[in-house]
Chain A
Amino acid sequence: MKRGPSAFNLVSLTLGFAFLYLPILLLVIWSFNASKLVTVWGGFSTKWYGALFQNDQLMAAAWVTLRVGLISATLATVLGTLGAVALTRHGRFRGRTLFSGMSYAPLVMPEVIMGLSLLLLFVALKIDRGFLTVTLAHTTLTMAYVAVVVQSRLATFDRDLEDAAQDLGATPTSAFWQITLPNIFPAILAGWMLAFTLSLDDLVIASFTSGPGSTTLPMRIYSQVRLGVSPEINAVCTLLIGVVALGVICWSIGMKWRAVARPST
């Protein structure tokens, strides 16, 4: 039997990817439409982007979202990496089942439940809802994703390298910093990026845990969308998609470059 895609494979791939990408593509096109109606092409225009930067509320929300994303992704990366190391390296320890359960559960836990439960925690601890609480909530949500990404890299990492370093006189700590960490670093970086984009994206948990003055961009977008499709929101969305696409493309070029550079060193 020959390998290679059949006509059926090609058709299903084409239809599948069209389904995934057409709506996003249309959104990008609409954002440049001078007309307010989606079905009428009023000519190419960037006026919605201009209007966007005049919109103080949206700009303030974008700034909050960016800060929450940077801080929570960094915290989540540290915590998630520590958790992944503990789960792959410490073997069996007391409470391991609970720990691994808590590490995976946020991946599938309905956001509404996580949002509600975190809110009740902050109320019980008498912490005012605002920037801090959203950041803590996002850290908890995203550290699970970091842990899974790092753990799958650690699982395939050859531990003999670590042992070899120690046989050659490295202390366990320096073997970790000089051998293990550089090896799992791409996964840590990928985990950080994933955590950052998840934080930028989250509506539900942020709605429960934020307070006045810490409205995030998705919350702003959501309240506008409820009033109907608006060209300005199309422009925000296009910018967000652009930033993410650029990030992913840079990332994959970086990975290729690394792969090319590796053998010569």
Chain B
Amino acid sequence: MKTKGATTPWPKLSALIPYAWLLVFFALPFLLVARLSLSDSALSIPPYTPQIDWSGGIEGLKVFFAALDFDTYKQLGSDSLYAESYVSSLRFAAEGTILALLVGYPMAYGMARCKPATRSLLLMLVILPFWTSFLIRVYAWVGILKPQGLLNAGLGLVGLPPTDLLYTPAAVQIGLVYSYLPFMVLPLYAVLEKLDYTLLEAAADLGSPPWKSFWQVTFPLSIPGVIAGSLLCFIPMVGEFVIPDLLGGPGSLMIGRSIWMEFFANRDWPFASAVAVVLLLTLVVPIVLYQRQQVKALEAGQ
């Protein structure tokens, strides 16, 4: 009798192809970023030194490694703009995640309480924006928030003074919550839908008022969804580029935008790489947490 594992019809080769692909196109590039962050910017193509001189053999490699240094990181540490940029990215992402949770939780909860037919329709409505372009959805807000935009037209109609929201941190916050809301609602809904409602009935029978049952029964049981949704929002929000670039002003510092500017505007590849390495290091803990969560969720499904 064969064991379960041995019934797999796939030769090892089929696993090797995606593995090799990821090693070459995902893992190797990160090593290149780390290596480039130790180089110096130069006016050449590609715009950095040193380059590895393979014709020099071992001696060439020695020269190459001797030329690597931590100058970019020193520059990064000495410029307070970058420290502020990291802090402000983390703050934007944390606030955005909390706001998305405040908006998304009641939505997910409401969806889970609907009839099954309504539920699947609502679920599709949450997923649909996910399929439409991110860029387009952010761009739509430009037309709403700009000074002669719809928001001010609406405020004028009810007699309120106009506000100038576009290119402010508030606009970035709106954009973040708007764009990442489906990422928050879906994991929350997945947990709340499976919730055993007889537990709430039991709590009610024992005399618990609904709000107390919510905090003592529903919410604790939905914690896995809260964690999954928050990580799924927080991590990409920290490195967000499009939203601060289109909706934020010079005051809305975000690190994704700094990398973009260093790379495209200043053409300082080594410095952009150093900024990226530090960003990645800040995100390592939440990314590892997220992966643990994913693996656990999949194993629970199995």
Please report A residues at the B interface, Cβ cutoff 8 Å. Answer: 1, 3-6, 8-10, 12-13, 16-17, 19-21, 23-24, 26-27, 30, 37-39, 79-80, 82-83, 85-86, 88-91, 93, 95, 98-106, 108-114, 116-118, 120-121, 123-124, 136-137, 139-140, 143, 147-148, 151-152, 155-156, 159, 162-163, 166, 171-173, 175-176, 193-194, 197, 200-201, 203-204, 207-208, 218, 221-222, 225-226, 229, 233, 237, 240-241, 244-245, 247-248, 252
Contact = CB atoms under 8 A, between A and B. Distances in A.
A3 B19 contact: no
Interface in B210-263: 210, 231-232, 235-236, 238-242, 246, 256, 259-260, 263
B136 A13 contact: no
Contact of B128 (A143, A166, A248): A248
21 contacts: A1-B197, A5-B113, A19-B103, A20-B129, A23-B141, A38-B150, A86-B19, A90-B15, A95-B19, A102-B26, A108-B232, A113-B280, A140-B21, A155-B302, A159-B7, A172-B7, A172-B8, A201-B134, A222-B135, A225-B139, A252-B124
Contact of B10 (A86, A100, A221): A86
Interface stretch (B56-64, B68-76, B288-296): B288-296
Interface in B251-302: 256, 259-260, 263-264, 269, 272-273, 276, 279-280, 283, 287, 290-291, 294-295, 298, 301-302
Interface residues of B, number: 100
Interface of B: 4-5, 7-10, 12, 14-15, 17-19, 21-30, 32-33, 36, 46, 103-104, 106-107, 109-111, 113-115, 122, 124-129, 131-137, 139-144, 146, 148-150, 153, 178, 181-182, 185, 197, 200-201, 204, 210, 231-232, 235-236, 238-242, 246, 256, 259-260, 263-264, 269, 272-273, 276, 279-280, 283, 287, 290-291, 294-295, 298, 301-302
A143 B29 contact: no
